[in-house]
Structure 1
Amino acid sequence: MVEKLSRETIAQHAIVHTAMPAAHRPTIVDRSFELPRGLYIATVGCYLSFMLVTGLCFGNPGLILPMGVIIFLIIAGFGIPTIWTKLAPQSPVRAKSWARFQQDGITTISGHNSAAQASVQVLILPVLVLIWGVAVVTIAAIVS
């Protein structure tokens, strides 16, 4: 059932704090994703290489707009999170260096991964997309 409460009734039962409770104090937010910059650069490089390979092979003036939109989305998809990580410059948390990543690895929801395992997980899709693009271009070159 729904009951309408007046402001006076709410004020009688409300708990008013003069200071913010400790549980609600701001915490340090880790916006670094814990991966080194090189993995992001490699991922973007693979996607842009795929666009370059397919664009050079299937060079058609009608594809300029779709290719431009896709390239913009790739750059924005990685550029906006990069900007987001820098929104709190006073935060002591920074992205891991490659040496630190090699030493510590990364802990995910499924457990701890070494640097090699995490790199494979991050780069498997972009590399497969690039290989697929090269395969499609090769097949198109052989057929025509």
Structure 2
Amino acid sequence: MVKHFSRELVAEQARIVEAPVKHHEVDRTFELPKGLYVATVGLYLGFLAVMATGLPTAGLAIPMAIFAFFIVAGFGVPMIWTRLAPETKSKQMNWSRFRSQGIATHTGRLPMRDAAVQVLILPAIVFSWGIIAVTIASIVR
């Protein structure tokens, strides 16, 4: 079934070349348009602004600054990571492509509207929660 070929026979007949070098292409785009990330950061920082202006106490200044730092760092560090070497050919999705193609998720393809709702629902709820909490606090005072 198996025929044995000696090294000499293989060296005579075979064309020996260097092994190809594989270049791994890294996609660091997170596959969504920048506007969704900007809106997410804006809603989280908006929540902090609503809470800071609605409940102005000196004791909350340091925690609010720390929360703002963590929000900016939580989105800023990945933004820096997307620009690290090696340079990649992958580009962040633009709005027209997002509108026409949507985005592929684990459970299937989502159109733009559904993907935007999925990304922005939690920040919008947190922001609304801040407005409701400040409204209740101002009524109770």
* TM-score (normalizing by structure 2): 0.83
In 2: Cα distance, 1:119 partner to 1:139 partner:
29
User: For residue 108 of structure 1, what is the aligned residue in structure 2?
Assistant: 105
Number of equivalences: 125
Question: Which structure 2 residue ranges, 5 or more long, are not aligned?
Answer: 1-16
Question: Is residue 128 of structure 2 the alignment partner of residue 120 of structure 1?
Answer: no
Question: Structure 1 stretches (4+) deviating beyond 2 angstroms?
Answer: 18-22
Per-residue CA distance 1:86-141 (angstroms, 9 max, x = gap): 11362110110111111111001111001111000000000000000000000001
Counterpart pick for 1:80 among 61, 70, 77: 77
2:28 to 16, 22, 31: 31
Partner of 1:139: 136
Q: Tell which structure's C-alpha radius of gyration is larger.
A: 2
Matched, 1:65 2:62: yes
Structure 2: how far apart are the matches of 1:136 and 1:20?
64
RMSD over aligned CA atoms reads 1.6
* TM-score, normalised via structure 1 length: 0.82
Q: Give the AA of the match of 2:31.
A: E
Q: Using the alignment, how far apart are the partners of 1:19 and 1:123 within structure 2? A: 50
